[in-house]
Amino acid sequence: MKYSEDIEKRRTFGIISHPDAGKTTLTEKLLLFGGAIQTAGAVKNNKIKKTATSDFMEIEKQRGISVATSVMAFGYKDKQINILDTPGHKDFAEDTFRTLTAVDSVILVIDCANGVEAQTEKLMEVCRMRKTPVIIFINKMDRDGKESFDLLDELESSLKIKVRPLTWNIGMGDYFQGVYNIYDKSLNLFSANKTKIEEDVHAISDIQDKELDDIIGEEPAEELRGELEMIEGVYDEFNREDYLAGDVAPVFFGSAVNNFGVRELLDTFCEVSPAPRGRTTDVRAIEPGEERFSGFVFKIHANLDPKHRDRIAFLRVVSGRFERNKFYQHIRLEKKMKFPNPTSFMAQDKSIIEYAYPGDVIGLYDTGNFKIGDTLTEGEKMMFKGIPSFSPEIFQELENLDPMKSKQLEKGIRQLIDEGVAQLFIQQPGNRKIVGTVGQLQFEVINYRLINEYGAKCRFVAKNYFKACWITTDNEEMLDQFQKAKYNLLARDKDDNLVFLAETPFLLQMAEQDYPDLVFHKTSEFMLDQ
């Protein structure tokens, strides 16, 4: 393999969780250990006005939640680490699901008090479907929560995956002293509430060693010995192949905000996690070691830098080497393109790169050429598969409150729709804009960004639609009859495809019965095959 050394160095993973499990804080601490940042900023709360490195959109700073995927790259030991920090809120699950197509493994963050929550189960379903290797980090052990063994049982039953602890907590809440690293037999104690790394590591080769009693106390030491004995008796020995196959999830305990257990997680991750993996296309499977470059766009973000009104397509390199200023084939548009300013990321901060290798996520400045799912190659005609799209569940009409700002509104909504957070349907007469999303919070974000980033004055008004269905047929006569009968419920999406906005499940069922030659597609994925 021509670039085998560069490929083997790379580790590209996503961090996923339910909201408030501490995912963004963990991301920060990983960056801290990697030397990418010098001190950790606190995620916004009522007292602290700093914000997390990866939460860069203004609305994220105000709400204290992540609503867009951030990409961060840093070096650690001999590895090049690419972290994709995803939104935890269920209203932004689409962004997270798409991001999972661009990573090779996942770290799932669980709050020790709340355990497995509904959103966690959905995210895990996607990982299982893709056979994505998962490492679980049980966070906030410095607070009182569920017993560790109960949490492990809950993980196995709710997430339908076998688990294997590789670290173990010493106490919990006020009695939490640190973690014992089962994987390399060392005891790590840290000072709490440190924004810089100060650690106290003890190599304990024999858990029976009386030194353990002196360090953590006789009673906690005995408790730890008993729990470790139980772990060895109940759980199979850790097998890396099982983890890589997605059959077993290693579990780590800690407190991200206090730096407990984060280094153990990062060190073990670097050792066991997969190097970049191949992807499937509509033609064949592509392996990372192939000489010719290929990659796909999994995310688009407008106004990453509000001062420059830039639009960036996030591309995952799958094979070969990407080179700055080299012409590549845009498969869908059937045209050659070159990129003078490809960038790598540290959240909002960008730097121009000359080369990128499989596993890397790069930003390509875009003037409107890219859609999510687009493929770039050195000429081979193929499209990468598996970028999911979702049927909207909530519909609202976008109303312009200032006719003088119509251009800004038009440009803004088109660009934000291209990011994949929502879908746009245009109704005639009047060019009425109906926006469909999978969550209410998305409307707040879109509205905020239209006003603050584009200067458009607007509001959303709720519409009572049940489902958007894309229509295809070979029977033009029946289609014509349908359009005449349902003209007030028809719209066009941003690519001018015909869409039926069904008001109730019953009316959709009746339309399917009355017009049997029309196919009502519940998602826009059918267009990928056209």
- Give pLDDT tens digits for 38-88: 665 533 333 323 344 444 445 445 544 443 446 788 889 899 999 987 764
Domain ranges, ordered by start, for the chain: 4-272, 279-377, 394-529
Instruction: Please tell me the number of Cα atoms within 13 Å of 366 on its side-chain side.
Output: 25
> In this predicted model, what pLDDT tens digit does every residue of 112-139 receive, in sequence order?
999 998 878 878 887 888 899 999 999 9
Tell me which fold the domain 279-377 belongs to. Rossmann fold (3.40.50)
Q: How confident is the model at residue 381 (pLDDT cuts 50, 70, 90)?
A: very high
CB 137 within 8 A of CB 169: no
% of the chain with per-residue pLDDT over 70: 84
Can you give the pLDDT at residue 209? 82
CATH classification (class only), 394-529? alpha beta
Query: Where is 343: in which H helix or E strand?
Result: strand 343-346
User: Which of 190, 189, 185 has its CA nearest to residue 208?
Assistant: 185
CATH for 4-272 (1.10.3860.10, 3.40.50.2300, 2.40.30.20, 3.40.50.300): 3.40.50.300
Q: What mean pLDDT value characterizes the chain? A: 84
According to the per-residue pLDDT averaged within each range, which of 91-95, 303-307, 344-348, 502-506 is highest? 502-506
Range of weakest confidence among 82-86, 345-349, 381-385: 345-349
Matching CATH topology for 4-272 and 279-377? yes
Residue 516, class by beta-carbon neighbours within 10 Å (0-12 exposed, 13-18 middle, 19+ buried)?
exposed
Q: Which one has a higher pLDDT value, 208 or 167?
A: 167
In the predicted model, what is the mean pLDDT of residues 214-239?
Answer: 93
Can you give the pLDDT at residue 407? 92
In the predicted model, what is the mean pLDDT of residues 139-161?
Answer: 95
- What length is written for the chain? 530
The beta strand positions in 416-505, using DSSP E, are: 423-427, 432-437, 458-463, 467-472, 490-493, 498-502
Can you give the pLDDT at residue 118? 80
Q: Is the pLDDT of residue 484 over 60?
A: yes
| Coil vs helix vs strand at 521 | strand
CB 338 within 8 A of CB 381: no
Can you give the pLDDT at residue 54? 46
Can you give the pLDDT at residue 65? 42
Q: How confident is the model at residue 311 (pLDDT cuts 50, 70, 90)?
A: confident
